[in-house]
Copies of this chain bind each other. A is one copy, B any other.
Amino acid sequence: MKAPPEAPPPLPAALAALTGQGVAAIDTPAAVIDLDAMERNLARMAAFARTHGVRLRPHAKMHKSAFLARLQMQAGAVGVCVQKTSEAEALAAAGVTDIYISNEVIDPARLQRVAALAQRLQAAGGRLAMAVDSLEGIVRLAAAVESHTTSGQALLDVFVEIDVGQGRCGVPPGEAAVALAQAIAAQPVLRFAGLQAYHGRAQHQRGVAERRDAIARAAQAVQDTRARIEAAGVEVPLVTGAGTGTFALETASGVWGELQAGSYLFMDADYAANAHDPAQPAFEHALFVKSQVISVNAAHAVCDAGHKSHAIDSGLPRVHGLPGQPPLTFANGGDEHGILHPPDGSALPGLGDTVWLIPGHCDPTVNLHDHLIGVRGGLEHGTVERIIRVDARGALT
Contacts and interface: CB of A to CB of B under 8 A. Distances in A.
A376 to B, nearest CB: 22
Nearest to A163: B297
Interface stretch (A71-79, A119-127, A318-326, A334-342): A334-342
Nearest to A395: B308
Given A312-B313, A351-B136, A396-B30, A336 B107 contact: no
A364 B312 CA distance: 11
A394 interface: yes
Contact of A339 (B84, B168, B292): B168
A302 interface: yes
Interface of A: 9, 27-30, 61, 83-84, 103-107, 109-110, 133-134, 136-137, 163, 167-172, 200, 292-297, 299, 302, 307-309, 311-313, 332-337, 339, 351-352, 363-364, 367-370, 393-394, 396-397
Closest 8 CB pairs of A and B: A169-B295, A104-B294, A27-B397, A83-B336, A106-B294, A307-B313, A307-B364, A104-B295
Given A103-B336, A106-B292, A168-B334, 20 more contacts: A9-B9, A27-B110, A29-B397, A30-B397, A84-B336, A104-B294, A106-B295, A133-B295, A133-B297, A134-B296, A167-B339, A168-B302, A168-B333, A307-B311, A307-B364, A312-B312, A368-B394, A368-B396, A369-B394, A393-B394
